[in-house]
Structures are given as C-alpha cells and as structure tokens.
Amino acid sequence: MRPFWKRVRDDRGQDVIEYALLAAGISIVVIPTVPNIGVQLVFAYYAVLAAVTGIA
C-alpha cells in the first residue's frame, strides 16, 4: 500500500474530469445554437428555390 502523501498527489483521473467539463461547456453552447442554424438554412434554401424557379 502506498503512503498517504503519495495517494493525495495521485492525479491520474484529472485529465478525464477536465475533458468531461470541457465537453459539457461546449455542449451548453452548441445545443441551443443548432436549431437556430437549421431554421436559417431552411429560409436560405427556400430563397434559392424561389429564385431558381421564379416563384417569388
């Protein structure tokens, strides 16, 4: 068994926690943004469709 002071300084799981926090932070920003981008793409698609077919 390792001495107590070596167990306290053990940081093998630190990277995993940091990556999980980073992924959570990114998802907090990305998840609300994606639907808005989808709506804007639909409007752009219909604008191009109308211009090509001469509807509007």
Give 14-46 pLDDT, tens digit per residue. Answer: 788 889 999 999 999 999 998 889 899 999 999
Residue type, 15: D
How far apart (Å, rounded) are the C-alpha atoms in residues 36 and 27? Answer: 15
Give the range of the structural domain holding residue 42, as residue numbers without chain letter.
Answer: 4-53
How far apart (Å, rounded) are the C-alpha atoms in residues 52 and 43? Answer: 14
Report the domain count for the chain: 1
Query: pLDDT-derived band of residue 6, with 50, 70 and 90 as boundaries?
Result: low
pTM value surpassing 0.75 = no
Query: pLDDT-derived band of residue 11, with 50, 70 and 90 as boundaries?
Result: low
3-state secondary structure 18-30: HHHHHHHHHHHHH
How far apart (Å, rounded) are the C-alpha atoms in residues 2 and 7? Answer: 7
